[in-house]
Amino acid sequence: MEAAPPNGLSIRGNRMVENRPIPGYIDEHFARIDDAWSPDNPDGYVAMCIAENKLVWDLIEPKLAASRDVPARVIAYDLMTGTQSFRETVASFLGRRVVYRDIDPEHVIAVAGTGTVLEMLFYAIANPGDGVLVPTPSYTGFWPDLEARDELTIIPVHTSSDTGFRLTTDLLDAAIDGTDRPVKALLFTSPDNPLGRIYSADHLDTIIEWAEQRQIHLVFDELFALSVFDGSTFVSGGSRRASLGDRIHLVWAVSKDLAASGLRCGVLVSENPGVLQAVEGQAYWGAVSGDTQYALEQLISDDEWIDGFVEENQRRLGNAHRRVTDALTAASIPHIPGQAGFFFLCDMRRFMPDVTWEAEDELWSWLVEVVNVNLTPGSECHIGEPGWMRLVFPSVETAAVVAGVERMGRALADRRA
Ligand SMILES: Cc1ncc(COP(=O)(O)O)c(C=O)c1O
């Protein structure tokens, strides 16, 4: 008979302990954060591993501070899916700025961050043991979001560096036909994390048609929809059909586009009444605090403020992206530039004695321990081949990132010599 889990835990409780859903690079990050780079601490730690935007706090702080007149109703129980007025505000904002068509507030649910949206949505559309397709390279958090409690299995659809990491329907066919599991959905991130890529309307149409033919759900994670720069235009997966129907769902959040990951507010847009009810049934366990909804409503409902914020944010992201591109080029670190999001995907293969997962891990550890910089290892982005690392460029001030890249360039050149 199998031994009972230690500490009086259930089997599922113990699974959380044994498969702790926090990757090692995040532990390393928090261990070093108090010794961060500054002009006075030039050897300090440079964090380039967590998808956050720290370039716009000066814009948000006064607006948030001015939104603190808390009405009594916000500290009482309300709809766990978001108050009526918050969902109306979000629906109108997403319709106006992201999807470019009217969104019914009854089709909107807000809960505490995208991780929560995804967990609740996939709980509603897939059974334990079912498969979900996720193209890679990918955002690492999808694995805990879908696997830890929903007990689904992600089937990675590996794209290859040889094709510029291009996702094709042949790859999707091979993934779905190559598994015995029932596949219930494709989770598609656009703009992409970590490729920083925007998908064209044609590409989105191909993906939608494929999902329709296969009769599976298609979830568009559009968290970086407004974080585009240098004149790039985002196209929402939700704009390609007159209605979303029962199987297309959109996910957005304030975490990235409003640089407010700590406020924990993610949004589901779905027209499937069953899905909405099933997520509503879970929302109590992950509701957004009334106070947070109220503050966010003040930001998002002020068209003039939010439009100015989005424009200035895009300008700053573009400037930072340009400065870090120059630094990476000067440091001879090959990289795939982005058009949106917070990322460069760096090709580190030339700095590895052989192109293996062990060598990637060794290089990443050396960068953290010796060079005092932290990138996201490609293995954590579930890339199908070793040798790549994600660099997040707005997670600290640009001067720090540039200093980190310069330090990395010098150290890598010495290591190769
Ligand atoms: C593509 C993508 N989806 C979801 C998330 C999770 O976001 P949240 O902090 O709102 O849970 C992230 C965070 O990095 C992300 O990059």
Question: What are the tokens at 130?
Answer: 């079912």
Q: 94 C-alpha to center of ligand 1: Å? A: 17
- 111, 255, 264: which to mutate for ligand 1, most atoms within 8 A of CB? 255
Cβ-based neighbours of 390, under 8 Å, separated by 6 or more: 49, 137, 194, 343, 344, 345, 346, 375, 376, 378, 381
- 26, 222, 223, 376: which to mutate for ligand 1, most atoms within 8 A of CB? 223
Question: What are the tokens at 190?
Answer: 């656009």
Q: How confident is the model at residue 304 (pLDDT cuts 50, 70, 90)?
A: very high
Q: 115 C-alpha to center of ligand 1: Å? A: 7
Q: 341 C-alpha to center of ligand 1: Å? A: 11
Nearest Cα residue to atom 15 of ligand 1: 139
Q: How confident is the model at residue 1 (pLDDT cuts 50, 70, 90)?
A: low
- How many whole angstroms separate alpha carbon 125 and alpha carbon 204? 22
E-only strand ranges, 178-233: 183-189, 217-221
Residue 118 alpha carbon, nearest atom of ligand 1: 4
Cα→Cα distances 300→97, 229, 303, Å:
11, 20, 7
- How many whole angstroms separate alpha carbon 320 and alpha carbon 354? 32
Q: Does residue 272 surpass a pLDDT of 70?
A: yes
Angle, alpha carbons 57-95-272 (nearest 5°): 115
Q: 330 C-alpha to center of ligand 1: Å? A: 31
- How many whole angstroms separate alpha carbon 131 and alpha carbon 180? 9
- What is the pTM (predicted TM-score) of this model? 0.97
Nearest Cα residue to atom 14 of ligand 1: 51
Q: 5 C-alpha to center of ligand 1: Å? A: 31
Q: 372 C-alpha to center of ligand 1: Å? A: 25
Residue 265 alpha carbon, nearest atom of ligand 1: 10
Note whether 103 and 233 are within 8 A (CB). Answer: no
- How many whole angstroms separate alpha carbon 85 and alpha carbon 82? 8
- How many whole angstroms separate alpha carbon 31 and alpha carbon 254? 27
- How many whole angstroms separate alpha carbon 373 and alpha carbon 229? 25
Element (H, E) at 205: helix 201-214
Nearest Cα residue to atom 5 of ligand 1: 114
Please report the pLDDT score of residue 417 as a whole number. Answer: 77
Please report the pLDDT score of residue 112 as a whole number. Answer: 98
Please report the pLDDT score of residue 69 as a whole number. Answer: 83
Please report the pLDDT score of residue 67 as a whole number. Answer: 84
DSSP 308-324: HHHHHHHHHHHHHHHHH
Q: 195 C-alpha to center of ligand 1: Å? A: 14
Q: How confident is the model at residue 59 (pLDDT cuts 50, 70, 90)?
A: very high
Cβ-based neighbours of 156, under 8 Å, separated by 6 or more: 134, 135, 136, 138, 175, 382, 384
- 116, 139, 227: which to mutate for ligand 1, most atoms within 8 A of CB? 139
Nearest Cα residue to atom 7 of ligand 1: 114
Q: 137 C-alpha to center of ligand 1: Å? A: 15
Q: 21 C-alpha to center of ligand 1: Å? A: 14
- 49, 90, 114: which to mutate for ligand 1, most atoms within 8 A of CB? 114
Q: Going from the N-terminus, what domains does the chain have, and what CATH number goes with each?
A: 6-58+307-416 (3.90.1150.10), 69-305 (3.40.640.10)
Q: 8 C-alpha to center of ligand 1: Å? A: 33
Please report the pLDDT score of residue 416 as a whole number. Answer: 80
pLDDT in tens, 313-370: 999 999 999 999 999 999 999 999 999 999 999 999 999 999 999 999 999 999 999 9
Question: What are the tokens at 123?
Answer: 């709980």
User: Among 125, 117, 114, 132, which residue's Cα sits nearest to residue 188?
Assistant: 132
- 50, 134, 193: which to mutate for ligand 1, most atoms within 8 A of CB? 193
- How many whole angstroms separate alpha carbon 238 and alpha carbon 366? 43
Q: Does residue 44 surpass a pLDDT of 70?
A: yes
Nearest Cα residue to atom 4 of ligand 1: 114
pLDDT in tens, 207-250: 999 999 999 999 999 999 999 999 999 999 999 999 999 999 99
Cα→Cα distances 32→26, 262, 368, 373, 374, Å:
10, 20, 10, 10, 10
The 8-class DSSP code of residue 266 comes to E
Q: 340 C-alpha to center of ligand 1: Å? A: 15
Mean pLDDT of the chain: 96
Please report the pLDDT score of residue 99 as a whole number. Answer: 98
Residue 253 alpha carbon, nearest atom of ligand 1: 10
pLDDT in tens, 372-410: 999 999 999 999 999 999 999 999 999 999 999 999 999
Note whether 266 and 247 are within 8 A (CB). Answer: no
The 8-class DSSP code of residue 287 comes to P
User: Among 322, 253, 330, 287, which residue's Cα sits nearest to residue 98?
Assistant: 253
pLDDT in tens, 139-189: 999 999 999 999 999 999 999 999 999 999 999 999 999 999 999 999 999
Other Cβ atoms closer than 10 A to 27: 11
Note whether 375 and 363 are within 8 A (CB). Answer: no
Please report the pLDDT score of residue 3 as a whole number. Answer: 84
Pocket around ligand 1: residues whose beta carbon is below 6 Å from it? 51, 113-115, 139, 141, 189, 193, 221, 223, 253, 255, 261, 266
User: Among 8, 13, 11, 33, which residue's Cα sits nearest to residue 368?
Assistant: 33
pLDDT in tens, 79-125: 999 999 999 999 999 999 999 999 999 999 999 999 999 999 999 99
Q: How confident is the model at residue 68 (pLDDT cuts 50, 70, 90)?
A: confident
Q: 252 C-alpha to center of ligand 1: Å? A: 9
